[in-house]
Each structure stands twice: as C-alpha cells, then as structure tokens.
Amino acid sequence: MACNTRNKYPAQVFNNENHRLNLYGDNVEVDYRGYEVTVENFLRVLTGRHETAVPRSKRLLSDEGSHILLYMTGHGGDEFLKFQDSEELQSHDLADAVKQMKEKHRFKELLIMVDTCQAATLFNQLQSPGVLAIGSSMKGENSYSHHLDSDVGVSVVDRFTYYTLAFFERLNIYDNASLSSLFSSYNPSLLMSTAYYRKDLYKRRLEEVPVTNFFGSVMETIHTDAAYKALSRRNSGRFEDEMSLDQSVHHIERRMLIKVNDGYEIHDINPEGEEGASKCPWSTFRNKFQKAENVDSLVNYGLVAMIPLLVISTWLVQ
Amino acid sequence: MEKVKKKIGSFSFWNWVIASIIFRLILIYFPKNLNLSSRPEVSTPLTSFRRLAEGYWLKQSSMSSYAGSMYHGSPLLLSLLGPLTVKRIEGQPNHLLYSLVSVIADVVSAMLIRATGQNLRLAYLRSLESLDLVKQIDVSEFLCSGDIAALIYLCNPFTIVACVGLSTSPIENMAVILCLYGACSRLIPLAAFGWVIATHLSLYPAILIIPVIFLLGCGPDSPPRKLFLQRHQQKEVLNQSKLPPGFSWRPIIHFAFWAFLWSVYVLVLCGISLKQFGGLWEMFKSTYGFILTVEDLSPNIGVLWYFFAEVFEFFRNFFLIVFHVNILFMILPLAIRLRHRPCYLAFVYVAICSMLKSYPSVGDSALYLGLLGWFVNELADMQFSLFLFCGYVGVSLLSPVMHNLWIWRGTGNANFYFTTAMVYACLQIVLVVEGVSAMLNHDRKLRILITGKPQDAKS
C-alpha cells in the first residue's frame, strides 16, 4: 500500500492526519508485500512449512520461548478476513495454523489483535493454550475508521488501532503497564464498537503481564554535537594494572583483563599482582611516572614554563 | 605638519586593527554555520581543526594521538589547544575559546610584523643616508611599510578566513613571524625559539635558517655592499664607520646554541608526551613523514594531490623526490643573489614554500602576502600588480564554486577544481618572479644613481 502508485506520498504510510509518524520508516522490516501477501503464504509463515528455497528473512524463526504478536487489519466479517480482494482467511484455518504452531512448539505466548468488522468472530475456533486474542468489534458490529486525511484522500487509521497507538504513546520508559490496562483502555463509545477479548486460553492473569511481553519500542536516536564528552575520564588505576601485569607474568593466578574497546574499565580479579609490583622501588617510580595524568601535567608545565624562559633569556642576552 | 600627518597615520592604523578584530568577532558569532573549517582551501590534513579535536580525543582515551592517521601535528599543540576543542560555554558559539586564541595569534603576528617593518624602514633610511642618496630619492614619499604590512596581514580575507575557519595556520604564521622579528631585532633566543617552533609545527620553515643567518650576520635589508664601496671610492674618504659591518660569525654561533637548546627542550617534551605510544620516531613518522610522503591526496589548493593521484606506484618515490627538490634547488641561487636582503629572501622562501608544499592552504598565502607589505617602497615599480590582484580575487571566488560543482552537484569533475589550483600556482609564480625582478631593478636603480651611468655587467 505504501508503494501503491496512487499513494501521493510514496513509501510513506501515516497513522495520523498530521503526518508526524511515518509507519513505513527506516526501522520497519517488510518481508512480504504486494502479490506475496496471500493466505497460503500467511499460513506457511505461521506454521513454518516453507519451500527449501525460501530465505530466512521470510520465515518466522520462533521457538518454544517466543512471544508472538499477530496483528491483522483490513476488511472482514463473520469468521473471515479478506485478503487482496480475492481470497479470505477463515477462522478455522487460523485455528488450525495456531494448533500446528503449538504442536511444533513455535510459541510460548501468542497475542492476536484483529481490527476488522466483526473481528471477534475470527478467533472463535481457537483452542490452543497460551493464546490471547482481542478483536475490535463483536459479531454483528462494524469497526470504523478514525479520521480522513484529505491530503492523501483516504482514511488513515481505524479507531481501534488509533486508540491502541494512543495508549502506547501515553506510556514512558518507566511505566510498567499491563495488558489489562491496555484492554480496559478501550472505550466502546469512542470506538463505536465493543472491543472483545478472549482470555480463556491464556493461563496468566492479565494484570501481571506487562505490555512489553508483546510490544516493543523504537528508540529515537538524537544526534548531538557533544560527541567527545560521551566517555568517562581515564581510569587512573589503569596503568597500575598494566604495570603489575608486566611484572608478574610468571604468576599463575587467573587474571581477567577486560579492555573494553571504548577504554572504560579494567577488571583485575587478582589483587596480589599489585603487591608484587610495589615491592621494587624503581617500579613504583616508573609506575608513578607512567601514570597518565602525571605525564600530561608534566608536559603542560613544560609548555607553560617555555614562555618565562623565553622572556628571561631574551632579556638577559640583550 | 609631519607630526600631524604621522599622528593621523597612526590613528587610522589602530582603527583598522580594531575594525579587523571586530570583523573577526562578528564572523565568529555569526548565527549560521559558515562551514569554513570544512573547506579544502582553508583546512588541510595538517591544519584541520576536526583532526586536532580527534587527536585530542584519542589522547584522552589513552590511545596514540596519531592512531588512525587522523592527526598529523605536534603533540605540544594537542596539550595546548586540545582542551579548547571540547570546552563549551553556555550560550556562546562553539569553539569560542579556540577562535579567540586564533584572533590573538593574528593580532600578535600583526604587531610583530609592524615592529619588524619599522626596523626595516629605519635600516633602509640609514643605508640611504650613508649612500648620500637622501636628496635624490624622495624619502618623504615613503609609506610606512610596517603599518601597511601589518594591515595587509590583518585585513587580508585569507587571514580572516583561516582564523575563523579554526585552522592552526595563525599559530604557525605567528611562529615564523616571531623568528623573523627576533632575527631582525638581534634577539637571538627569540629568533631561535621562533625557528624551532616553526619547524616543529610544519617542516618547511626550516629553510628560513638561511635568511636568519644572513640577518644575524649582516643585519637587515640593505643595498648591495659593493654600492657602499663604490660610493666611498667616489668620495675618496675611507670612513669605515659609515660602511655597514661585514659578516660576523658570533651571532650565528649564539643562534646555533640557542636553537640547539630550544630543540632539545621541545623534543624532550614531545618525548615525554609520547612515551607510551612509540616515542619520537612515531612522531617524526606521522608528522614529517606524512608531509614528505604526501600520503593524503584529498583536494586542496595546491598541485600535488592531482599528480599523485594518477602517478604509478613504481614512480611515486621518484616524483616525491622531484617535488621536494623543486623547493630545495631554488634555495641556493636565491641565497646567492639576494644575500644582502635577507628579509626579502625570507619572503621569497615563504612564498615558494606556500606554493610547493604538500598541503597548501590560504593561511600560508596570508603569511607571504603580509610579508610582501614590508617591501612596498622597494617594489613600487612591480609589473602586473593589477593582474595579480585580480587573479587572486578571481581564484578565491572561483575555487569554491568549482569545488561545489565537482563534489556536491556532480556537474563538474576534478579538472575544474584543479584548473583553479593551477591558475593559483601560476599567479604565485608570477608574483615571485616579478617581485624578485622588481627588487633587483630597485638595486640597479640605486647603482645607477650612485655611479651615474649603467654598468654593463648583468646584475
């Protein structure tokens, strides 16, 4: 849809009239698009029954510990979801696929969100444990779009999706929102339909399940000019540790010297090596001399001393 | 009348100085980013501010500051200017302190140029007196060459751009000018210090040792010695006290001693600073080796990058030697011909270096254009001066345009930009050649005035 030739903003899909968020942006991976979106491919992805030539990027590589979010939107009706104006996904097909997934241990928990007309009927036939499903409307109800974007010429977002996004936009990084708060945030009068969810197959209590079980966040990186202030100052103990490493190579203790590439820390598990280094006075002198700050301040003193030396010498020789 | 004229003259000098400082400050505080420090004409791999900041960051992260072949300057500059690259004051533009250091360096250079110019002017007047030419040459028409040179240096757009563009050229220029000032004023430790620092920061001022030796041995610029002898033959009065003193070796020995002292001091400091990272050999490889082997071929306003981008590996060393000998082989003939005018010799050497060095920039041109101001009286008859001036203006306008066409728009190619570089080199060559011939013509004119008839010897 983003690359449809009738899209006025090619490769951009907005969720709001203000065009603030491009949902088809740089951090979105689209694996199936266009004519590849068929019911057969969808069921193959879910069950993992691909041809051998299908690349890994087009497979659902999940295992028995995975949490999967399955979000479907479009046109639908009583126990079906429309695909590509030509075929439909039926609720028993979906239930079959989920059953196969469970048998093959392809998920631990599955959250199905459906935003179509009469969405709740799509998961009528589900029987596998560990599945949680929510639909935007019940049987006999329609789901409505939220608002029209006159610039693009179509409605940009449906009500259920809009209020789901609104819920997540309100959260900050430290909120520990639970699924129950998400599900109870849907207001039937605002949605103009009843959001119905099915939790009989899901054994955990919804108040205990954080939304981050199924939803992730996209970090926005902001570039600042202060790039050189990022790292901490050099560790003064660093060169001491290096010294003792040189001196006590013959020691057999385990010494873990992790030099992180950014130059943060050095972990020295065994402190005995430093005692060995401090026994010799020459090594302590070299130790002190090689400390980074000392070298720096020495050079700075030398530089500053150049000026009075110059003045004095010029005045003397006059 | 003369006092008033002099007063007016000195008043407007300080006016111009303050105006140029204010103009620099305006450009520093300019709200939109002028991006001067990313222009290839302003910042070269040796003088770039970005590389200095990178070298400082590497040093702070306990790595060798020459790692990654980013920074190729002196470690002393890192200790001196490095903290200024990261210090930020709230509400002020970035790198304000560093820009202020450049402005101060420019002002100090201008003052030193002025003092040296006054010195030179006094020496010139004195030599004219002793040649008894004061009535024949209109001395009151002489412009104040020190003031003019200082103003040319300060108000030159090249200098302003090099200062605001945060390159290290102002500091290198200050070292060179300090060396020349010390040599002119017979302050030997100062001259030695300036020479050592200038050579340490960029390799090429090393050849200034020859004009410095002449300055310390014979004194500032004066007409050729044989003119004095001829004049006294005419007068038949062998008054030795009026003759300029001959060449003396004592100051040279002093200079060698002080230069040795200062070099040991600088090298010891560098050695301490680089103890863990390979020591002095690493420093020489990364600074002088980098300059001599022309490792970085990014475009600049010189001519070497284009050539070395296409030369075959087999011939690379040969052509490196050719290009460097190009500077070296001009040293001896010029020294022989211009030994009575060491400051002018220094100017010619600086001009040749700025043209033929591995990574030239407009900051180097700013130096010799400023030094040119010392000789406005002698070079009054220089040919092609308008052509050169228009040429400089044209090149400085066209060069960024060609660079933009090549890199940003893609409608041009490297030849466009290299054309402006070649034209610039041609202009500098014409300037040097015409300058030297004008100076020799001036000497010839003096000789004609003394002997009354032109000599047939080619001079």
CA–CA dist B383, B437 (Å, integer): 9
Do A13 and A40 lie in a common domain? no
Q: Please say which residue of A188, A215, A242 terminates a domain.
A: A215
Same domain, A82 and A17: no
Nearest to A317 among B56, B63, B188 (CB): B188
Q: Higher-confidence residue: B146 or B88?
A: B146
Chain A residue with minimal CA distance to B263?
A: A306
Q: Are B44 and B361 in contact (CB under 8 A)?
A: yes
Q: Give ipTM to 2 decimals.
A: 0.76
pLDDT at position B453 is 60
CB of A175 closer than 8 Å to CB of A115: no
Res. A95 pLDDT band, cuts 50 70 90? very high
Q: Which of A234, A309, A318 sits opposite B62 (nearest CB)?
A: A234
Q: Is residue A273 part of a domain?
A: no
Indicate the residue among A174, A190, A215 that finishes a domain: A215
Considering only CB atoms, B190 lies closest to which of A233, A295, A314, namely: A314
Do the beta carbons of residue B303 and residue B423 sit within 8 Å? no
List residues of chain A with CB under 8 Å from any CB of chain B: 225-226, 228-229, 231, 233-234, 238, 262-263, 290, 292, 295-296, 298-300, 302-303, 306, 309-310, 313-314, 317-318
Are residue A22 and residue A49 in the same domain, yes or no?
no
Dihedral through CA B378, CA B379, CA B382, CA B387, nearest 10? -160
Closest CA to B410 of B402, B421, B419: B402
Q: Which residues share a beta bridge with A145?
A: A158
φ, ψ of residue A158 in degrees (nearest 5)? -90, 160
**Looking at residue A97, which CATH number applies to its domain?**
3.40.50.1460
What is the distance in angstroms between the Cα of B267 and the nearest Cα belonging to chain A? Answer: 11
**Domain presence at residue A232:** no
Quickly list H helices, A207-269: 237-247
Q: A92 and A201: one domain?
A: yes
Strands A76-77 and A80-83: antiparallel
Range B164-187 average pLDDT: 94
A234-251 burial string, b = 16+ CB within 10 Å, else e? Answer: beeebbbbbbbbebbeee
Q: Which residues pair with A80 in a beta bridge?
A: A77, A90
Convert the pLDDT of each residue in B8-55 to its tens digit. 556 688 999 999 999 999 999 887 777 888 889 999 999 999 999 999
Same domain, A75 and A200: yes
Q: Establish whether A3 is a catalytic residue.
A: no
End of a domain among A150, A183, A215?
Answer: A215
Domain count of the fold of chain A: 2
What digits encode the pLDDT tens for the residues A215-262? Answer: 887 666 777 666 554 444 444 334 434 333 334 333 333 333 333 333
Q: Please tell me whether residues A20 and A94 are part of one structural domain.
A: no
pTM for the complete prediction?
0.64
Per the document, the length of chain B is: 459
Q: Considering only CB atoms, which chain A residues are within 8 Å of B188?
A: 317
Q: How far apart are CA A165 and CA A171, in angstroms?
A: 10
* pLDDT, tens digit (0-9, with 9 covering 90-100), for A40-84: 999 999 999 999 999 998 999 998 999 999 999 989 989 999 998
From A238's Cα to the closest Cα of chain B, the distance in A is 10
CB count within 10 Å of CB B89 equals 9
| Beta partners for residue A178, in sequence order | A210
Domain ranges of chain B: 2-458
Tokens 């600049």 identify what position?
Answer: B300
C-alpha–C-alpha distance, residues B56 and A310, integer Å: 26
Q: Would you state the pLDDT for residue B242?
A: 57
pLDDT at B133: 76
Kindly determine whether residue A292 and residue B62, on different chains, have CB atoms separated by under 8 Å.
yes
> How would residue B200 be classed by pLDDT, with cut points 50, 70 and 90?
very high
- Same-domain pairing of A119 and A210: yes
Q: Give contacts of A302 with chain B, Cβ < 8 Å.
A: 265, 268-269, 272
Question: How distant is the Cα of B99 from the closest Cα of chain A, in angstroms?
Answer: 18
* Same domain as A87, residue A18: no
Q: Over chain B, what is the mean pLDDT?
A: 88
A127 and A175, same domain (yes or no): yes
φ/ψ of residue B430, rounded to 5 = -60, -40
Instruction: For residues A55 and A82, state if they share a domain.
Output: yes
Say if B193 is an interface residue toward chain A (CB within 8 Å).
Answer: yes
> Cα angle vertex A50, ends A45, A54, to 5°?
100
Range of the domain at A6: 1-30
What pLDDT, on a 0 to 100 scale, did the predictor assign at position A275?
42
In this structure, is residue A255 part of a structural domain?
Answer: no
Whether A280 is catalytic = no
Which of A75, A105, A147, A267 is labelled catalytic? A75
Query: Is the Cα torsion angle B87, A306, B108, B340 positive or negative in sign?
Result: negative
How near does any CA of chain A get to the CA of B88, in Å?
9
Q: Write the pLDDT tens digit of every residue in B221-274.
A: 888 888 888 887 777 655 554 566 678 888 999 999 999 999 999 999 999 888
Q: Chain B partners of A297 at a C-beta cutoff of 8 Å?
A: none
- Which chain A residues touch B79 with a CB distance below 8 Å? 296, 299-300, 303
Q: Are residues A120 and A23 in the same domain?
A: no
Where helices occur in B32-140 by DSSP H, the ranges are 49-60, 75-86, 96-130
Average pLDDT (B331-338) is 94
